[in-house]
Structure 1
Amino acid sequence: MNQRSALDLLETKLGRQDEANTMERLVSALENMPLAIAQAAAYNKKRWPRCSLEQYLDKFEESEMSRESLRKSSSRKEHLDTLVSINNLAVVLAGRGKYKQAEDMYRQVLVIREKVLGDEHLDTLITINNLAIMLNRQGQYKQAEEMLRRTLAIREKVLGDEHPDTLRSVSNLATTLNRQGKHEQAEDMLRRTLAIQEKVLGDEHPDTLNSVWNLADSLESLGRKENSIELYKRAVAGSLATLGSEHPETLRRQRELKEFWSR
């Protein structure tokens, strides 16, 4: 039904003429549907003049807004509940070494989080970081670097240069650069990060020690073994003091330090 016919129907069913703009707004809100117009007219006619057509329209629009808000809220919750399940599955797959499957799961989570939470939400950035880790473990360093640079740029903007999550992003990016042979770039980033971590987190914080180890790795790759050995030793000593002798990270670093001496 076109608008002119819809207006005629409304006037006929009301048995009176009302303010033209209000009538046009109402038939438009009802999408010119004859049954809806007839029902609205019958409701208003029965209650007129206690309830004007303007008042009816206001209540109708308010009801529609509430329903739309509820729909969006329910949809948002459904999306968030779904991504928690997918994310948990990705964590399990990654733990089992099934990196490609975990990557696929994280990509699904990322699509939902970008849609529901936005590009700069902290949970979205965590997902991008997790996806980059999966790419790293599959040797897809270029893609991982792009993701980590994106995460770093947003974290610097949203959280600031000295936030632990920002510093963690720098460290992760430096690791990826090292794996691509970009050791000088990695060294610059790690020295900057390490200086801030020592100031903000302390010398023996796990994140600080991780940067120490990664910096040692960069220096070794650049042929500066004397500098790297001191940093390797520092990282191992810090791990023993803070994590304990049985912690997997301590054991890994001790093992790799022995390998360093044998090279």
Structure 2
Amino acid sequence: MVTGDGMEWALYNLGSLYAEQDKLDEAEKMYQHVLRGEEKAWGPDHISTLDTVNSLGLLYKSQGKLGEAEKMYQRALQGNEKALGPDHTSTLTAINNLGILYADQGKLDEAAKMYQRTLQGYEKAWGPDHTSTLRTVNNLGILYKSQGKLDEAENMYQRALQGKEKALGPDHTSTLDTVNNLGLLYKSQGKLDEAEKMYQRALQGKEKALGPDHTSTLDTVNGLGNLYCFQGKLDEAGKMYQRALQGYEKAWGPDHRSTLHTVNNLGLLGHCKDARRHWAQIIYADQGKLGGAEKMYQRALQGCEKAWGPDHTSTLDTVNNLGDLYRSQGKLDEAEKMCQRALVGYEKALGTDHTSTLNTVDTFGLLYKSQGRLDEAEKMYQRALQGYEKALGLKNVTIYRPALDTMWNLGDLFVAQGRLDDAKEMYSRARASFQTLLGSSSNLCQRLERRIASLDPTQGK
């Protein structure tokens, strides 16, 4: 930011400090004060004013105020285009920020247009191997992964990785971020061995470059925990989550978003049917104030509501998880309230066909089945499955774990309805996909084999 007023400069820096400390309300007050001063001194379209507008957009995004963030980003973009031209790097930064926001809102087509425009601008301004260009390539990879375009995502990540290794070296933290993203992608593709190699490379590199307790290192620790959980390696997953949680609490405090996300992951692990009995004695032994999955979720929910408000997508993620936990506990009225809150919030924030929305639709199907409302449960499952197919495509839906869970749930529902042929078809679809993801010898595939066999009326005769 450029300004002739030393006081405004100091207030802006103070706002930035508050933002880094996650004191978002205090940061907003500082930025608003600075913005009013700059608008009065320089006018609404001065580049210094627009810098502060952009900072307010970033802040609003952190607060989950996505509508306000979009207004700020649009204002910054229009002002920069007018003052500096459509291809100026400041303009491109505003375009990139809009792309990130659209991606968070689930407006993936709009996000892709912003990223493509940013990429073309950076390639023209700085060349294909500049770090800003490669950062946008990496963002496109993230977006393609969200769209289920996994081959395109892999191409972007590989381009970003090769460029960063060449420009920055194999052990640079930016390079390692892309390595970490490749781990996430390989997990989505069912390439679990390759995923683990990427995570381990990212973790070892970050431990060496940043130290074992740096928050970026802990992010990879948490990601490795997610992979181990997906593989059914629950002991290893719990150790990763505990390490991440202790590190985040030390670095950020108990109410920071990263801490709360890991608390939520521990809740999920404790909620896992196969893990709960074992982890009741292990995960929470050092957390006397947090005795179980429900307390983990409650802690995460209270922290998210305080940090971002009741309608932020991170808050809604925990609301959804808490609803599913209540369902498994037989607290069906409480479960329905949580699921309804999550569904309404997701539909408003992300739209009816976003995968987070559809995950909650699937949870509603489970709830209705538990309540004996089988026709309503089927409608929820069918809506979720059709939505996944629309959002991800028929090819990529076969390796998206929530969609496979919905197929399995539909199979269980058809059994309850006496529709055994439909159940066999749905179980067979799920089994084929789990074989691709986990291998035919996996526990999940074996369980599906037994369910399919149990539908044979000649079984045991």
Normalising by the residue count of structure 2, what TM-score does the alignment of the two structures yield? 0.39
Contact 1:76 1:116 in 2 (8 A): no
Which of 201, 219, 223 is 1:252 aligned to? Answer: 219
Q: Which amino acid aligns with 1:136?
A: A
1:166 maps to what in 2? 133
Structure 2 Cα separation of the partners of residues 76 and 162 of structure 1: 37
2:352 maps to what in 1? none
1:116 maps to what in 2? 83
Q: Structure 1 117/209 Cα, relative in aligned 2: closer, same or farther at 3 Å?
A: same
Matched, 1:225 2:225: no
2:250 maps to what in 1? none
After superposition, residues 1-150 of structure 1 pair within 5 angstroms as: 78-150=45-117
What is the DSSP-based 3-state SS (H/G/I as helix, E as strand, rest coil) of the residue aligned with 1:162?
coil
Contact 2:56 2:72 in 1 (8 A): yes
Contact 2:45 2:83 in 1 (8 A): no
What is the DSSP-based 3-state SS (H/G/I as helix, E as strand, rest coil) of the residue aligned with 1:223?
coil
TM-fit CA distance, 1:97: 2.7
2:423 maps to what in 1? none
Q: Which amino acid aligns with 2:141?
A: A
- Note the aligned Cα RMSD (angstroms): 1.9
2:180 maps to what in 1? 213
What is the DSSP-based 3-state SS (H/G/I as helix, E as strand, rest coil) of the residue aligned with 2:211?
coil
Which of 188, 195, 216 is 2:162 aligned to? Answer: 195
Cα deviations by residue, 1:151-201 (Å, 9 ceiling, x for unpaired): 111111221111000000100111000011011001112112211211110
Cα deviations by residue, 1:188-222 (Å, 9 ceiling, x for unpaired): 12112211211110112122111111122222222
TM-fit CA distance, 1:246: 2.8
Matched pairs, number: 190
Contact 1:183 1:219 in 2 (8 A): no
After alignment, is 161-170 or 222-231 more displaced? 222-231
Q: Which amino acid aligns with 2:154?
A: E
- Structure having the higher Rg: 1
Cα deviations by residue, 1:108-137 (Å, 9 ceiling, x for unpaired): 100000111111101111111111111112
Structure 2 Cα separation of the partners of residues 112 and 202 of structure 1: 37
Q: Which runs of 5+ in 2 are unaligned?
A: 1-40, 231-461
Structure 2 Cα separation of the partners of residues 160 and 223 of structure 1: 34
TM-fit CA distance, 1:233: 0.9
Structure 2 Cα separation of the partners of residues 79 and 172 of structure 1: 29
1:238 maps to what in 2? 205
Structure 2 Cα separation of the partners of residues 168 and 147 of structure 1: 14
After alignment, is 84-93 or 114-123 more displaced? 84-93
Structure 1 Cα separation of the partners of residues 45 and 138 of structure 2: 34
Matched, 1:204 2:165: no
What is the DSSP-based 3-state SS (H/G/I as helix, E as strand, rest coil) of the residue aligned with 1:133?
helix
Structure 2 Cα separation of the partners of residues 254 and 99 of structure 1: 29
TM-fit CA distance, 1:75: 8.1
Structure 2 Cα separation of the partners of residues 245 and 107 of structure 1: 39
Structure 1 Cα separation of the partners of residues 71 and 44 of structure 2: 22
Structure 1 Cα separation of the partners of residues 66 and 209 of structure 2: 30
Q: Which amino acid aligns with 2:139?
A: N
Contact 1:100 1:138 in 2 (8 A): no
Contact 2:199 2:223 in 1 (8 A): no
Structure 2 Cα separation of the partners of residues 215 and 224 of structure 1: 10
Normalising by the residue count of structure 1, what TM-score does the alignment of the two structures yield? 0.68
1:157 maps to what in 2? 124
Structure 2 Cα separation of the partners of residues 229 and 83 of structure 1: 43
TM-fit CA distance, 1:78: 4.9
1:186 maps to what in 2? 153
TM-fit CA distance, 1:91: 2.3
Moved over 6 A (4+): 74-77
Structure 2 Cα separation of the partners of residues 106 and 139 of structure 1: 17
Contact 1:135 1:144 in 2 (8 A): yes
What is the DSSP-based 3-state SS (H/G/I as helix, E as strand, rest coil) of the residue aligned with 1:130?
helix
Q: Which runs of 5+ in 1 are unaligned?
A: 1-73
Q: Which amino acid aligns with 2:182?
A: L
Q: Structure 1 157/130 Cα, relative in aligned 2: closer, same or farther at 3 Å?
A: same
Contact 1:100 1:134 in 2 (8 A): no
Structure 1 Cα separation of the partners of residues 67 and 181 of structure 2: 25
Contact 2:137 2:159 in 1 (8 A): no
Q: Structure 1 145/238 Cα, relative in aligned 2: closer, same or farther at 3 Å?
A: same
Contact 1:197 1:207 in 2 (8 A): yes
What is the DSSP-based 3-state SS (H/G/I as helix, E as strand, rest coil) of the residue aligned with 1:188?
helix
